[in-house]
Amino acid sequence: MLENQNPHENTNNNSSSTLKMIGSGSVQSIEKSVFIDMDTLYGKEQPFVLLEKLDGSLCSPIIERVVSESDASSLNSSLKKNNFASVSAEKIEKRAYDTFRLRMRTKLSHTNAIVMGMEELIYDLGDEGTRRNAKGEDIKLILNDHLKNVPTFEYKTSEMTKEEEEYLVFKIDEQALEIDANFTQLSEKVQNFIRFCIHWINKGFTPLFEFFSKEHKIVIDYGDKPFLSLLALRHTVDGYFLPYSQVKKSAQQYGIDCVKECSNEQVIEAAKTGDMDEILKAIRNERGVEGYVLVLNNGWMFKVKSMWYNNIHKTNGFISKGELKESRIWQYCFDSKIDDVIGFVRRDEDRIRLQEFNDTVINALNNYVSKVQQFKEIIQLELQKEFPNTPIEEIPMKDYSRVAKQVIKDEPNYVFTALVVNKKDQTSLSSLIKEYCSRNVVNQLGSIKNMLGCQDIEFISRSEINRRAKLQRQKEGATQEEEVNQEEDEDSEDAAEDL
């Protein structure tokens, strides 16, 4: 499969194709005869670079500010006394920060086992947390112990220019960091990683990394040693990527591993022709790699996945023969992974069926989020009767909980939890409910269906569709000869697809 990403363009959905252009979550088909005009593009600089496509977990660094002990004590005291009115939004906004940490996060969060594995690698913390997680210990307790070992630094900021204020909330003082006692005690390797991340975050860029470890292997086995590789530097607001040459140079300056260029001569020669058919042909024959990313100087990126990788995923297997549980397909929908899968589906009818199923599930999820949002509004209206002219943030949690339980008494317990967390942390209801569905659907598919009002919605394999059709034909009195002919046709289609 070959995909293209242009950070400067948004596109709309269209019919599926081998080549896909992806921008800001939308998809548009491109004719397969895409051709790079080398005569036009070729100049003093190479018009493209072909990079390895790593098979790991995408992640990025974040700066986690830590509230001061005195301020935390004041807030906790108010919470314990249920004196929530004194914990105003203004007070929380102005709370003092003593220290900060450089943390990592995946697409979902910064509090999971994958992040812990990354931080163990970055800060040379060993693998105690990873081993405890493998034994099945409570991940919350493990993460709590893990955070005690992640170094913190004095929180000092630099003044920002008007231009910087457009894309920064705060700017870490890099000179102050250099003389911080906790920082100077770290190894040169760890210091350089922190320097690199803060340098680019201060410039308004998000460093994007790929993390691999044997505990979180997806498909390709890179060995027993975990690693972190820099993929790109993307502007946080404008969305553009820095050229690979600049990314590689900066990584070298700080001693950071960077994604490597393709070393397969056949693939490189095919790329030089500029013919996408030739590139696809060369990469399809590759083994042991996920694929490559073709980066043009104009910012366009083409992601090409090898057929070897595609076959390992057995994308068509779970659709045609039901090799995955139905609940996994639901989880793909909640995790926004259908777009990653659908391009590998061979049959148009299966591709359409999968897309329609995904759209139905997401629509049901969005409708349920709207329903919970309405509950939230009703709760707020009821509370205003008891606490007129009081901001919702200042209403005591015990009163909010009491009214919430009355309003949503017929809903699952998690809805109450989501509303409480939403009030306390201001986390969006959509994110909370989506994460809940993703986390529980594998083992509680029936409950999730009931919650979303999707009791009659299902995704079944083609073999199951054929089985049900056979039973229906038998009910309708199909002759034995007609049944044999139908089964032979279905077997021939599956055999041809497998071939």
- Tens of pLDDT along 177-214? 999 999 999 999 999 999 999 999 999 999 999 998 87
- Tens of pLDDT along 399-419? 888 988 888 888 888 888 888
pLDDT of residue 251: 96
pTM of the complete model: 0.56
Task: List C-alpha distances in Å: 257 to 21, 126, 278.
Answer: 28, 19, 30
Q: Model confidence at 321, in pLDDT bands (50, 70, 90)?
A: low
pLDDT of residue 52: 82
Q: How many CB atoms lie within 10 A of CB 427?
A: 13
Res. 495: pLDDT tops 50: no
Spatial contact of 415 and 409, defined as CB atoms under 8 Å apart = no
- Tens of pLDDT along 429-487? 888 899 899 999 989 999 999 889 888 888 887 778 888 888 888 887 765 555 555 55
Residue ranges covered by each domain of the chain:
2-54+262-313, 61-214, 350-452, 462-498
% of the chain with per-residue pLDDT over 90: 28
pLDDT of residue 156: 94
**Residue 76 dihedral angles phi and psi, to the nearest 5°:** -65, -35
Res. 252: pLDDT tops 50: yes
pLDDT of residue 120: 94
Q: CA 442 from chain center: how many Å?
A: 18
Q: Model confidence at 94, in pLDDT bands (50, 70, 90)?
A: low
- Residue closest to 334 by CA, chosen among 309, 360, 308, 300: 360
pLDDT of residue 32: 33
Sign of CA dihedral 29, 34, 39, 42: positive
Q: Model confidence at 276, in pLDDT bands (50, 70, 90)?
A: confident
